[in-house]
Amino acid sequence: MRYEGPIYRPPSEADSLLIQATVGCPHNRCTFCMVYKKGLRFKVRPASEIIEDLNAARAQLGDWSGTIFFPAGNTIAAPTNILVEVFSAARQIFPKVKRMTVYGSAQYVIEKQEAGLRRLAEAGLTRIHLGLESGHDDVLSEIKKGVDRAGQIEAGRLLNKTGIENSVYIILGIAGKALSREHAAATASALNQIAPQYVRLRTFVPKTNTILLRKVKKGDFIMAGPHEVLRETKTLLENLTSSTSLRSDHYTNYINLEGELPMDKQRLLQEIDHALKRDKSTFRPFFIGNQ
Ligand code: SF4
């Protein structure tokens, strides 16, 4: 298998076979994201090369029955014909594959339209990891997500309609102190309309080579602390009525919240209340990772 540029995958794909389908991210403008900022420009690998890699994996792994994730940053943006060819080939090469997934931002999901997404689902695409980040228009605009709340909701509905699972990512603290509560409430209401199968929590940490790190350093963005982020999480959960699996499978979070909603809501709220009583010094450091 050959890889080019940074290869990121969600923690839930830790055991997946990684077959690179695209390089970089076609958007590459989100103010919090460092992944491809100084990297290669977005490109789609030829289907023949991707299929060669699938065959190379088959030679190594045999009739493997796990899951496959196709990096990189927004593989859903690749032409539908190429993706259909690749997913169909993957199913032939690995007939027992359990799940095939890609990253996909809402604007590129919408571009596929219902017909394109149906073709992808039929070819074998089972799940998209989608960065909602926030359901608040001002926040989405500020972080340059490239899509507004209405677009995020439209993409979610399209995925539900076409039977592709939606694994949605939320960034706690991405609105700073200023819009923390509004961000939480608007995000919960967007999620209620999107009804994703998974909601995955991440907490904002300023990363190297990002606009947001520069803003933090200049004092133009005031980061929410652990207790503010926990209150934000509480507002999000209180307002979330959709049935979904909540996961906080990431090192950036101050506490680990896992459960099925609405069944586990009260327990999760109690866990947040318990954490709110902890001293600030008992949480992870404010800055972690590469700054
Ligand atoms: S769409 Fe995803 S990969 Fe691309 S810049 Fe935004 S967060 Fe980064």
pLDDT band at residue 291 under the 50/70/90 scheme: low
Which of 32, 41, 74, 130 is the pocket-test mutation for ligand 1 (most atoms within 8 Å of CB)? 74
| Averaged pLDDT for residues 197-225 | 94
Ligand 1, pocket-test mutation among 31, 105, 143, 200, most atoms within 8 A of CB: 105
Kindly report, residue by residue over 172-192, the tens digit of the pLDDT: 999 999 999 999 999 999 999
Asked whether residue 28 is assigned to any structural domain, the reply reads: yes
273 CA to middle of ligand 1, Å?
32
The mean pLDDT value for 261-282 works out to 97
Query: Residue 282: which pLDDT band, with cuts at 50, 70 and 90?
Result: very high
List residues bridging with 237 in a β-sheet: none
Quickly count: other Cβ atoms within 10 Å of residue 214's Cβ: 13
Q: Is residue 3 part of a domain?
A: no
DSSP string over the chain:
----S-----GGGTTSEE---EES-SS---TT--TTTTSPPPEE--HHHHHHHHHHHHHHH-S--SEEE--STTGGGS-HHHHHHHHHHHHHHSTT--EEEEE--HHHHHHHHHHHHHHHHHHT--EEEEEEE-S-HHHHHHTT-SS-HHHHHHHHHHHHHHT-EEEEEEEETTTTTTTHHHHHHHHHHHHHHH--SEEEEEE----TT-HHHHHHHHTSS----HHHHHHHHHHHHHH--S-EEEE--STT-SS---EEETTTHHHHHHHHHHHHTS-GGGSPPSS-S--
Residue 199's DSSP bridge partners are: 168, 246
Task: Taking residues 123-134, report their average pLDDT.
Answer: 98
pTM of the complete model: 0.95
| Atom 4 of ligand 1, residue of closest alpha carbon | 28
Residue with CA at minimum distance from ligand 1 atom 8: 33
Rounded Cα distance between 224 and 203, Å, is: 10
Lowest mean pLDDT among 62-66, 85-89, 154-158: 62-66
Any domain includes 4: no
The range of the structural domain enclosing residue 161 comes to 11-281
Nearest CA to ligand 1 atom 2: 73
Of all residues in the chain, the percent with pLDDT exceeding 90 is 91
Question: Is 155 domain-assigned?
Answer: yes
**Ligand 1 centroid vs 145 CA: distance in angstroms?**
8
Lowest mean pLDDT among 35-39, 234-238, 262-266: 35-39
Contacts of 58 by beta carbon, 8 Å cutoff, 6+ apart:
64, 93, 94
| Cα 174 to middle of ligand 1, angstroms | 14
Of the listed ranges 32-36, 106-110, 200-204, the one predicted with least confidence: 32-36
Number of structural domains (the chain) is: 1
Residue located nearest, by CA, to atom 5 of ligand 1: 28
The rounded Å distance from CA 156 to ligand 1 centre is 17
Taking the centre of ligand 1 as the mean of its atom positions, its distance from the CA of residue 29, in whole angstroms, is 7
Banded pLDDT at 125 (limits 50, 70, 90): very high
Give the position of tokens 């190297």: 208
- How are beta strands 244-247 and 259-261 bridged, if at all? antiparallel
What is the rounded average pLDDT of the residues 113-134? Answer: 98
What is the mean pLDDT of the segment spanning 233-237? 98
Residue 226 confidence (pLDDT): 96
**What does pLDDT average to over the chain?**
95
Read off the pLDDT band of 289 (50, 70, 90): low
Confirm whether 152 is domain-assigned: yes
Residue 1: inside a domain = no
Q: Is residue 249 part of a domain?
A: yes
Q: List 102's β-bridge partners, or say none.
A: 128
Domain of 197, CATH number, reads 3.20.20.70
Average pLDDT of span 198-222: 94
80, with CB counted inside 10 A (0-12, 13-18, 19+), is: middle
The ligand 1 atom at the shortest distance from the C-alpha of residue 33 is 8
Distance 223 CA to ligand 1 centre (A): 20
Q: Looking at residues 6-32, what average pLDDT do you find? A: 95
What's the average model confidence in pLDDT over 33-62?
93
Instruction: State the residue for tokens 């509905």.
Output: 157
Q: Is residue 23 part of a domain?
A: yes
